[in-house]
Amino acid sequence: MTFSRIFAFVAFIISCFFIDFANALEPMLVKKQQFELASFTTQNGAVIAPVRIGFESYGKLNAKRDNVILITHYFSGTSHAAGKYQATDAQAGYWDAIIGPGKAIDTNKFFVISSDTLVNLNAFDPNVITTGPASINVKTGKPWGLAFPVVTITDFVEVQKALLDSLGINKLYAVIGPSMGSFQAIEWAVRYPDQVERLVPVIGSAEVDAFTAVKLERWAYPIKQDPAWQQGDYYQSAEKPTEGLATAMAYVTQDALHPRSFNQKYPSLTKDKAAAIEITASFSAWDQLMATARQRSSLQDANHLLYLVRASQLWRAGMGDNWQHALAKVKAKTLFLPASGDLLLTADSAIASQKALQATGNNAQLVEIQGDFGHLDGLFNISTVGPVIQQFLAK
């Protein structure tokens, strides 16, 4: 081979490297799509008409339609699991670290889909499409308010099922979701065992016990005590329960963190000299937490939070009287990924769920996510178990 040809070959290899490197730096751009049902009957027999939800997808659906991974989102999350809407967006989707070309959930191999839930908390986010109490009831021409029926994790799953049916998808390579998304993932495997091949509940469990249900009630309480809530009938009022919602989100934030990370982020109480003199003086840590919560809740809806709390409080696999018995229906290969420092949905609750599933004959695996962020390690440190997820999906 002549020198010129060697030089040309080396130049070609180098150019390919830089092209690949540039592509790796470019964000995966995604767009929100909408799915609509003319009517939907909830688990408790109520009819919602119509129902609209938003969804996103990443990667390509293969000819057999058997390369589908469903991502089910967490309590305050949305369908924006990965990528960006615009290249200039400040942040990518919450699991962008593991979803994308060449990543743990490889969009070169899999068609990944994620949808907004019913009663999505971020009801006023322009990138969210959801039906809930803030939506217009076509029968009255006014927002539903508390006339909206109680909905469950099962209802979230059934709307997702209708979406997938509309796309001609009847087999899921895997269902993966964090926190409240883990509830949906497990319910998928219970209700549709022949359609779910792999199950990955992240920072979650197969039931919400009484202790956790009461903790979740703390999130609802500030809204119900806000005079502007008006028993949920505030949509046409000038005053909204913004303070109650912000306080609720402050509790959500604190409960999702571990004391190690919380204390690092918020000021030491030793700086609050006024608190030792005046009983009405506030702690700066609380003031800072509330300021963050007010900003975070600006596109959220108070009633939607109440409905999500109730759906989570009611959660148990199969939604019957015996969640352990319901797990016997699961055929999927299962991998639990709890966070070791989680004080909201503890690692112990995931271990109990794993053991209950193993008792049915399912060889469920479990790997703990390490970190200092508590429950939020399932989002912030998910990349640390990326190789575990990748290996599990390869089996």
Catalytic residues: 179, 342, 375
Q: Which amino acid is residue 194, in one-letter code?
A: D
| Planar angle of CA 366, 371, 377, nearest 5 degrees | 70
What is the C-alpha separation between 167 and 252, in angstroms, rounded? 35
Bridge partners, 69 (sequence order): 112, 174
What is the C-alpha separation between 280 and 282, in angstroms, rounded? 6
* Contact partners, residue 113, CB within 8 Å, separation at least 6: 55, 56, 57, 58, 68, 69, 70, 71, 163, 164, 167
Pairing of strands 198-202, 333-336: parallel
- Count how many Cα atoms sit within 13 Å of the Cα of residue 4 in the half-sphere of its side chain: 0
Coarse DSSP helix, strand, coil percentages of the chain, rounded to the nearest 5 percent: 45, 15, 40
Query: Residue 394 burial by CB count (10 A; 0-12/13-18/19+): exposed, middle or buried?
Result: exposed
What is the C-alpha separation between 25 and 100, in angstroms, rounded? 12
Bridge partners, 84 (sequence order): 29
What is the C-alpha separation between 254 and 244, in angstroms, rounded? 16
